[in-house]
Amino acid sequence: MLYKEYANKVLDELRHTLTAVDQESAKTFVNLVEEADEVFCAGAGRSGFQVKGFAMRLMHMGISSYVVGETCTPNIKEGGLLVICSGSGETKSLVNHAKKAKEMNAKVAIITINPKSTIASLADVVVEISAPSPKSEKQGDVVSIQPMGSLFEQSEGIFMDIAIMMLMERKNMTSDTMFGRHANME
């Protein structure tokens, strides 16, 4: 295939997964982020990279956000929200994070392929991304030409960017107002 053929196929896959996300789950996810005192973000591998980008955008909005596992991340407590990105919903370290969050009376949100996973059973909201992954028994309802879990990882990142856009609208923010918090020690 030529580059443009690959590009069009990938865009079709993304259109399918992103438009299949349940509207109420997306709304609940955004509500939980907006209501949280602090947002803690966790994921492993490429999902971890995606959720770090979400934490950064929350910071740009002036929302207290942290990446679980970083040395400057405080403890989670009641009023906090843990956002987990996990295709399988079974990654042991992330299951432990979810259990700790619930133990502290914090909320948990998961973006996953598997709405019947251990983490999903602990979550206050489950955002299901219907994409295949070699780590999940549930494979979504689209066959991807992309390797491994790429479609899920791309979709979760774009979903979180859309959630940021929804928050920006609610808070009457623009890219210009957010840019004031952009790093200046680069």
Structure tokens, 104: 């502290």
Catalytic-residue membership of 153:
yes
Question: What's the Cα-to-Cα distance from 111 to each of 2, 6, 53, 120, rounded to whole Å?
Answer: 32, 26, 14, 9
Q: From the candidates 13, 38, 128, 153, which is the catalytic residue?
A: 153
Q: Three-class SS of residue 64?
A: coil
Type of residue at 28:
T
**103 SS3 class:** helix
Distance CA 136, CA 108 (A): 20
Active site amino acids = 153
